Amino acid sequence: MSGRPLGAVETKTLDLETLAKAHSYVLFNCNKVDEFITEHLRIVRDQNRRLREHELQRIHCETFALWFQNHVEELHTLGDQRITEELRALAGGPIEIQINSKPKRVHVDQWKNLIKNWNKEEAKKISERNKTNRAYKKMMQITGKRSYARVREELKRVSDEKDLERRHNEVWIGSYKLRVFIANRNVSRKQEDDTTLNSNALETGEWD
């Protein structure tokens, strides 16, 4: 015999503050988040060495959810294999919180549509596939907002020959690095070894 509610059904919408507290409670009671909780607490202690333990714990509790969300996305971008779509969803929290975290430069309606798209199963599958593909990328572009012309001028300034016209391959080498990324499920911190491309790489085709 199936059950049924007694009396009138009342639907209540939680405010953002209550949702945030509920999200934080879930995070602090999920064993999949334990290693990140430990990492964040260590960071808080390193940055606030003069504070007492109860003050450190307060800062830790108040700032962990946002730090965790940003940290998970950063690790996902780097191709860390620990970051599953389930963990990303857990870090993002309720969709209302995700919508409320809109960057200032993004229009409200566009941000809502983007959040809805990110939460679709098909979008999650595409994201997981892209993360796998990115893990194969070894040459990382490091110029940021700098143009290749600016890189060339910077290389000329540090050269012994002041009027040296840099060759295309030298500018390219100065714009990229090899990144060796190690994701270990047994440690809480990622290990990266950025190795500058050597000048023989373009000629030999061998990357150390």
Domain boundary among 82, 110, 134: 134
Number of neighbouring beta carbons within 10 Å of residue 54: 7
pLDDT of residue 160: 57
Q: Are residues 71 and 173 in the same domain?
A: no
28 has pLDDT over 90: yes
Residues 107 and 154 both lie in one domain: no
What is residue 12's predicted lDDT score, i.e. its pLDDT?
A: 73
- Rg of the chain over CA atoms, in angstroms? 24
Phi, then psi, of 141 in degrees rounded to 5: -75, 130
DSSP, collapsed to helix, strand or coil, labels residue 159 as coil
Please tell me whether residues 94 and 169 are part of one structural domain.
Answer: no
- Dig out the tokens for 140 from the structure: 């990382």
pLDDT at residue 207 is higher than 80: no
Angle at the Cα of 55 (from 53 to 60), degrees rounded to 5?
A: 95
Q: Are 116 and 129 part of one and the same domain?
A: yes
Render pLDDT for 93-146 as a digit per residue (tens, 0 to 9). Answer: 887 667 777 778 888 788 778 877 877 778 878 888 887 887 777 777 777 788
> What is the mean pLDDT of the segment spanning 4-30?
80
The verdict on 84 and 183 lying in the same domain is no
- Residue 168 and residue 69 in one domain: no
CB within 8 A of 126, min separation 6: which ones?
A: none
Tell me: do 31 and 71 sit in the same domain: yes
Cβ neighbours for 67, distance < 8 A, ≥ 6 positions apart = 40, 43
pTM: 0.51
Q: Kind and range of the H or E element at 180? A: strand 176-182
Q: How far is CA 194 from CA 3, 165, 177, 179, in A?
A: 61, 27, 7, 5
Total domain count, the chain = 2
Q: Do 63 and 109 reside in the same domain of the chain?
A: yes
Q: Are residues 127 and 143 in the same domain?
A: no
Task: Supply the range of the domain harboring residue 160.
Answer: 139-204
- From 81, 104, 134, the end of a domain falls on 134
Choose one of 106, 134, 162: the last residue of a domain: 134
Lowest-confidence pick of 30-39, 83-92, 114-123, 159-168 = 159-168
